[in-house]
Structure 1
Amino acid sequence: MTIISAEQVGNRLNDWRIAIRKHDVQSAKEMYTELKELLQEMEENQEVLTYYSLLEGKYKLILYERRGKKLNEQTELDCPSKTNDLIEYYFYLYKALYASYKRDYASAIGLFKIAEKKLQNIPDEIEVAEFHTKIANLYMLLRQSLISLHYIQNAIDIFKSHEGYERRLAAAFVISAANFMDIGDFKRAEGYYKEALHIANSLNDHFLTSQLYHNISILYAEAGESKKCIDALEKALSDDDYLSSCYFPHSMFMLIKELLSIDERTQALYYFELVKQKHATEKNPIYTAKMNLLYHLYFTEDMVKKAQTCFDEISILKELKDAEGARELSALAARHFEELGAIHQAYLFLKEAYHMEHPIIDWRNSDEKNEFTDFHFSHRCFRTNSVFQYIK
């Protein structure tokens, strides 16, 4: 068997890195298959193997972000020895991204800070833009809009000056749009979403288009434009690949919730049945809890049973670290019980929503808490129970 040099594999890994950061999913898939074969024939080199493992982690995150492929538990990697600046940087960046995915935001912030220091040793403008996009996304999720906008504008300026990074530019526009929505500038937010949609359409990327329609539906929901929201969600759910992705329940939950808000109960029940059939083959505990809560909130007649079931589902969401989902659904339940004249139950749910606004981050130890006192955020990953797609 011919032994392939580590340098040759390393060069191909650099090509794979570029495909991954461009979000060129097809090319990245092809290279992944090729590299697995090359590694079996490569001379022994631990640095290259570490580089491959880190890129593989990023690749799987991209498949989750860009194609909705479920992300399994990742293998814990050892910290690389100080021999390669890029590998060190990727190690901390990947750990930060995975911590964010797991909703361990305190750890994610600390790891991003370390990665940012390592980035200073890497003279690559696109890597800077990539990092700014990732950390801007985290601050956006945590509703630190002005900090997020600072980072994402830097990324937009860089991506605009480089060809081949249109998908990354679209993702940056989404983060900007979400931040402007957070500060109440809906018109400007809509403008950024439309720019992103224009890019997706020009690339003929139907999955990205579906993700963007889901995201713009959140804007319309926030603005109280239910008809536009429902229309956008129906467009998001029109792509077969999107329907088979892990993002399906995000959009379906949003659609059902919006239909119920305008009292379209018959249509909502139809979609409840579709989700039930889907869940028979693939369970999503967070969305199972959310769907159960919605169903009982609107269709259970017994007031005591309705309230108790809703509290049970909120407790499940809290256990699953979906603090924002628990908060938003508590507020929704409070409004619903108030409309029914059940003031005591409405008060209890409103109290729950209020408490969820505060101790959102689970600080792991006192040192972390002291270090990040200035970053006391409220979790916003799936705002108003309307998941922002991970297209960053």
Structure 2
Amino acid sequence: MSTESVIPYDLVATKMNYWYNCIKNNRSAAAEKAKTEVEQEIKVMEENQDALVYFSLLDFRHQLMLEELYPNADLKIDKHYQELKETRGCQDLNGMLEYYYHFFMGMYYFRQKELVFSLNCYRKAELEIEAIEGDSTEKAEFYFKMAEVYYHMKQTYFSMNYAKRAYAIYKQEPAYGNRRVHCQFVIAGNWLDNMHMEEAMKHFKQALEDAEKFGENYLIRKALFNIGVCYTNLEEFDKASEFYLKSLDILKPKNDEFTARALYLLAYTKARQNDLRSSKKFYEKSLKLAQQNNIAETLATLKIVKGIYLDSDLDLVREAFEFFEEKKLYPDMEWYGICIGDALTEQGEIRGANEFYRKAIEARKQIRRGDFLNEI
């Protein structure tokens, strides 16, 4: 290669920074175009190992973006994960590259529903975050991801704190409107967990309004679904079903995991209304999708609908709780424990009700202690 044809690595790094901004904004078409250009330029780039590692990291983050936007695509994300692990094993990273490695690994584990491992990676990334000098939107991205994982662990104070820090930054950045919507989801979810229904509904409806303004189907669908969840918690099951059905009307981008979960919640709400015929119809549709795509969490929750409402088989329900406990899904154990206890009480099954109330109490203790946050 002649020296005249060599591209300075800092110019390619600038192009990679643009690529990363496209990824963070979920601008998949622009990200694909930037990635293609970087792949061509890196072939004639002057030798620089850090730039090559940065490329590997962004390639992995690119795949995570695509998996979020197009869950049904065969992206071989696990293969990219293994390749990045091998790259990490051969390199002595520091500063910015160390931050990105742990941050992106945390995202991967979050997508795999391995929340404890995800949080552990994020904590390691946080130790290196000061290496990201002058990039407030990157810090906002990190704060949001921390808020997200803490929300799923029901660590409300930490989640709300990080979500508000992220939202404050995104409010100053017009190009990050979709990220503001995601922050609204997390803030609303935390209000919902604390039984502040009016605040939760206000934020969910604002998220829907903003999502419709941006015209992002996957965000509109998620906002409709979340409003349905809020109505489910309010036990306004007709309204809940209405919003679940509206969310299912949005077919693209295809997302079988989302569809299976929405169908499950329709089965659950119909069962709560004693409309067992409709419940069974939605149950069977959800079960088919969950089995085809091996969606373990939905398969577990479907056992609850079948075991409590359709077949009266508490052993199925116990299997679901074994799954929750194995995965340390204590928030699900608590919520379902109370719901099942209430349902069994209405059916006169006092012994069974007490069993699941106790499971809910034990789950609440685990959440308050936060022991699972340190189990690495």
Relative to the length of structure 1, the TM-score reads: 0.82
CA distance in 2 between partners of 1:297 and 1:236 (Å): 26
Structure-1 residue corresponding to 2:27 = 24
CA distance in 2 between partners of 1:321 and 1:4 (Å): 49
Aligned partner (choices 90, 95, 115) of residue 100 of structure 2: 90
Structure 1's 145 and 327: CA in aligned 2 closer, same or farther, altered over 3 A?
closer
Aligned partner (choices 58, 70, 76) of residue 55 of structure 1: 58
Task: Report the Cα offset of residue 165 of structure 1.
Answer: 0.7
Structure-2 residue corresponding to 1:319 = 326
Once the two structures are superposed, the pairs formed by residues 219-230 of structure 1 within 5 Å of their partners are 219-230=230-241
Structure-2 residue corresponding to 1:189 = 200
Structure 1's 246 and 12: CA in aligned 2 closer, same or farther, altered over 3 A?
farther
CA distance in 2 between partners of 1:137 and 1:279 (Å): 24
CA distance in 2 between partners of 1:93 and 1:280 (Å): 31
The 3-state SS of whatever aligns with 1:237 is: helix
Aligned partner (choices 143, 147, 151) of residue 136 of structure 1: 147
What are the superposed Cα offsets for residues 164-219 of structure 1, whole Å, 9 maximum, x if unpaired? 11101111111111122222222222222222212211121112100111122222
Aligned partner (choices 229, 234, 259) of residue 245 of structure 2: 234
Structure-2 residue corresponding to 1:307 = 314
Task: Report the Cα offset of residue 132 of structure 1.
Answer: 1.4
Q: Which runs of 5+ in 2 are unaligned?
A: none
Structure 1's 40 and 334: CA in aligned 2 closer, same or farther, altered over 3 A?
farther
Does residue 1:252 correspond to 2:253, yes or no?
no
Task: Report the Cα offset of residue 126 of structure 1.
Answer: 0.9
What is the CA RMSD across the aligned residues, in angstroms?
Answer: 2.8
The 3-state SS of whatever aligns with 2:365 is: coil
Structure 1's 147 and 34: CA in aligned 2 closer, same or farther, altered over 3 A?
same
Q: Which runs of 5+ in 1 are unaligned?
A: 362-372, 379-392
CA distance in 2 between partners of 1:324 and 1:4 (Å): 52
CA distance in 1 between partners of 2:241 and 2:253 (Å): 16
Aligned partner (choices 38, 46, 51) of residue 49 of structure 2: 46
Does residue 1:158 correspond to 2:169, yes or no?
yes
Structure-1 residue corresponding to 2:349 = 342
CA distance in 2 between partners of 1:335 and 1:53 (Å): 51
Stretch of structure 1 that moved more, 124-133 or 137-146: 137-146
Once the two structures are superposed, the pairs formed by residues 275-314 of structure 1 within 5 Å of their partners are 275-279=286-290, 281-301=292-312, 306-314=313-321
Does residue 1:215 correspond to 2:226, yes or no?
yes
Structure 1's 69 and 57: CA in aligned 2 closer, same or farther, altered over 3 A?
farther
CA distance in 1 between partners of 2:201 and 2:366 (Å): 32
Structure-2 residue corresponding to 1:262 = 273
Structure 1's 151 and 325: CA in aligned 2 closer, same or farther, altered over 3 A?
closer
Contact kept in structure 1, 2:276 and 2:310, CA below 8 Å: no
Contact kept in structure 1, 2:148 and 2:159, CA below 8 Å: yes
* AA in 1 matched with 2:246: K
Stretch of structure 1 that moved more, 330-339 or 155-164: 330-339
Structure-1 residue corresponding to 2:184 = 173
CA distance in 2 between partners of 1:235 and 1:24 (Å): 25
* AA in 2 matched with 1:128: K
Structure-2 residue corresponding to 1:388 = none
Task: Report the Cα offset of residue 237 of structure 1.
Answer: 0.7
CA distance in 1 between partners of 2:332 and 2:194 (Å): 20
Relative to the length of structure 2, the TM-score reads: 0.85
Task: Report the Cα offset of residue 279 of structure 1.
Answer: 4.1
Q: How many residues align?
A: 361
CA distance in 1 between partners of 2:325 and 2:43 (Å): 44
CA distance in 2 between partners of 1:277 and 1:99 (Å): 26
Higher helix share: 2
